[in-house]
Amino acid sequence: MLQNSIVIGVDLDGVCADFYGRMRQIAAEWFERPVDELPEAVSWGLSEWGITNQSQYDSLHRFAVTQRELFSSMEVIPGARKYLRLLSDEGFRIRIITHRLFIHYFHAAAVQQTVNWLDSNGIPYWDLCFMKEKSQVGADIYIEDSPPNVEQLRSKGLFTICFGNSTNRHIEAPRASSWPDVYDMVRVFVA
Ligand SMILES: [Mg+2]
C-alpha cells in the first residue's frame, strides 16, 4: 500500500547522524583530553564533558562545524538509511528538517556539507528544510531527539516520535530506541 500523502519530518543530528559520537571526538580535541575520559552518555547541554554554559556550548559547536566539518563527518546512525528507504519506497514523503543555519555567513558551507552527507550516505529524501521552527514545515509525523523540540512539537498536537538517546531519557512515549522501532511505530500510526 502506498502512503502517498503522508509526510515524515526527520531530524538529522542525533536521529540520522551520530552527532554525539562525532562531537565527543571533537570535544576531546577541544579540551585536549583523551577521548576515553569523556562519557558517551551525555545530557542535553553536554555538562558531562565540562560545558557549563551556553556560550561554551556555542564555541565548541562553532569550532566543530567550521573547523572540523561536523556536518559532513558524522557517522550515519545504524538503520537510518535502510528504514528511510523502506518508508520512502512505501510512498511516505521524507522531509528532512534541520536547524543548522545558526552561524551567520557560514550558510553555503553548512548547506554543502549537509547535502554531501545526505547523498554520500544514501539517505532518501524529497524535501530539505533548514528551519528552527520545525512545526511550521507541516509534517504529519515527526522524528526528533532534542527534548525542547519534542516538547514543542507535542505541545502543538503534532505526532512526534522521540528518537531515544542519553539526552532525552526523561521524555515520555512515544519513544523509539532504534530505526526498526521507528519503522514499526510509523506503520502502527498510519494503520
Ligand atoms: Mg537532533
Q: Tens of pLDDT along 80-97?
A: 999 999 999 999 999 999
| All residues at 6 or more sequence positions from 115 whose CB lies less than 8 Å from its CB, including other chains | 128
User: CA–CA separation, 119 vs 125, rounded Å?
Assistant: 10
**pLDDT above 70 for 1:** no
Same domain, 14 and 105: yes
User: CA–CA separation, 77 vs 80, rounded Å?
Assistant: 6
Same domain, 68 and 97: no
Residue 95: how many CB atoms within 10 A of its CB? Answer: 20
110 is written with which cell numbers? 553548512
> 82 lies in which domain range?
7-18+74-190
**11 annotated active-site:** yes
pLDDT at residue number 2:
62
User: CA–CA separation, 109 vs 105, rounded Å?
Assistant: 9
- Please indicate, yes or no, whether the overall pTM of this predicted structure exceeds 0.75: yes
Tell how far the Cα of 34 is from the centroid of ligand 1, in angstroms.
26
**pLDDT above 80 for 139:** yes
The answer to whether residue 2 is domain-embedded is: no
Same domain, 68 and 102: no
Same domain, 98 and 140: yes
**Active-site residue, from 13, 18, 140, 145:** 13
With a pLDDT cut of 90, the percent of the chain lying above it is: 93
Tell how far the Cα of 58 is from the centroid of ligand 1, in angstroms.
15
Q: What are phi and psi of 9, to 5 degrees?
A: -90, 115
pLDDT at residue number 40:
96
The pLDDT of 27-31, averaged and rounded, is 97
Alpha-carbon 148 to chain mean position: 13
Tell how far the Cα of 191 is from the centroid of ligand 1, in angstroms.
27
Could you tell me if 154 and 160 are in contact, meaning their C-beta atoms sit under 8 angstroms apart?
yes
**Active-site residue, from 11, 18, 140, 145:** 11
106 is written with which cell numbers? 557560514
| Count of the separate structural domains present in the chain | 2
**pLDDT above 70 for 152:** yes
pLDDT band at 3 (very low <50, low <70, confident <90, very high): low
Same domain, 91 and 164: yes
**pLDDT above 70 for 170:** yes
**13 annotated active-site:** yes
pLDDT at residue number 186:
97
pLDDT at residue number 42:
96
pLDDT band at 105 (very low <50, low <70, confident <90, very high): confident
Residue holding cell 537510518? 80
13 is written with which cell numbers? 543530528
Same domain, 51 and 117: no
| pLDDT one-digit tens code per residue, 35-56 | 999 999 999 999 999 999 999 9
The answer to whether residue 26 is domain-embedded is: yes
Tell how far the Cα of 10 is from the centroid of ligand 1, in angstroms.
9
| All residues at 6 or more sequence positions from 125 whose CB lies less than 8 Å from its CB, including other chains | 10, 84, 88, 94, 95, 96, 118
pLDDT at residue number 103:
86
